[in-house]
Amino acid sequence: MRTIYQRLILLTRLFVAKISEGDPVYNFFLKNRKVLDIACGEGKLLRMNPKMIYGIDINTTILKKLQDEGLQVKYSDVTKLDFNDQSFDVVHCSNIIEHLNPLEAHKMFQEMSRVLVPGGKILLITPMPKTVWNTFGHIKPYPPQAIKKLFRKVSLESFDSVHGLEIENIFYIGSWGLNKLTSLYSSILANLTPFHRGSYFMVIKKNG
């Protein structure tokens, strides 16, 4: 895992990219890769590359709308992804896991690993405990340490460890300010002190 200094440098590059080039997550992690967007919602990510990015959701109304646009989407539950093994280079999972109970989250990680190619990556974005309760539908927070324990060689939980996955990097995100500069400043502070951490962006790698 990168040092705090390395994370701050990369975080700054991500924000610079956001200011000058658009979506930094797409440009740094998704561009020219086959991607599965879990709970794709209104399809913002899908439209960035309709040929390479696939989406799933359980909202049939949204899915019908996206299918009418010609986007590659289907109905699929996160605990049983309707795709073959090793189908994707990247799985994008933003603000989903906090809506799941532990057994569902465990199964989702198993499924994400299954559909990834060796060396593929999971991009996990979720709120930290202090902000997760701001939304009525959230079930529980999953802080980074909890995810790390899930990948241990020996499980101390009531379910097995998820093998073959390792945390490659973590970026903490602060509060979104009035402009991009204050947002960057807040996120730099978030990577230096826990008090400012509103959410986190985790890069998880599937070992080959």
- Tell me the per-residue pLDDT of 191-208, one tens digit each, with 9 for 90 and over: 788 888 899 999 999 997
| pTM for the predicted model, two decimal places | 0.87
Please write the tens of the pLDDT for every residue from 97-108: 999 999 999 999
State percent of the chain over pLDDT 70.
87
Q: How many CA atoms lie within 13 A of 146 on its CB side?
A: 15
- What is the H or E stretch that residue 136 is in? none
Which pLDDT does position 159 carry in this prediction? 82
One-letter amino acid of 2: R
Please write the tens of the pLDDT for every residue from 121-137: 999 999 999 899 989 99
Helix extents (H) in the chain? 4-21, 24-25, 60-68, 102-115, 129-132, 144-150, 180-190
Contact predicate 32/90, CB 8 Å: no
Q: How confident is the model at residue 7 (pLDDT cuts 50, 70, 90)?
A: low
8-12, 38-42, 61-65, 181-185: lowest mean pLDDT where? 8-12
Helix extents (H) in 22-87? 24-25, 60-68
109 closest CA partner among 167, 54, 154 = 167
Which pLDDT does position 144 carry in this prediction? 95
12-18 contacts at long range (C-beta below 8 A, 24 or more positions apart): 12/184, 12/188, 14/171, 15/180, 15/183, 15/184, 15/187, 18/180
71-85, 89-103, 163-177: lowest mean pLDDT where? 163-177
Mean pLDDT estimate for the chain: 88
d(CA 102, CA 168) in angstroms, rounded, equals 22
Q: How confident is the model at residue 173 (pLDDT cuts 50, 70, 90)?
A: confident
**Is residue 168 predicted with pLDDT exceeding 90?**
yes
d(CA 84, CA 18) in angstroms, rounded, equals 33
Q: What is the mean pLDDT of residues 18-43?
A: 84
Q: Which backbone phi and psi does 67 adopt, to 5 degrees?
A: -65, -35
Complete domains list, the chain, with CATH = 33-170+194-206 (3.40.50.150)
Strand-pair category, 165-173 with 199-206: antiparallel
More confident residue, 164 or 181: 164
Tokens of 118: 């060796």
Q: How confident is the model at residue 17 (pLDDT cuts 50, 70, 90)?
A: low
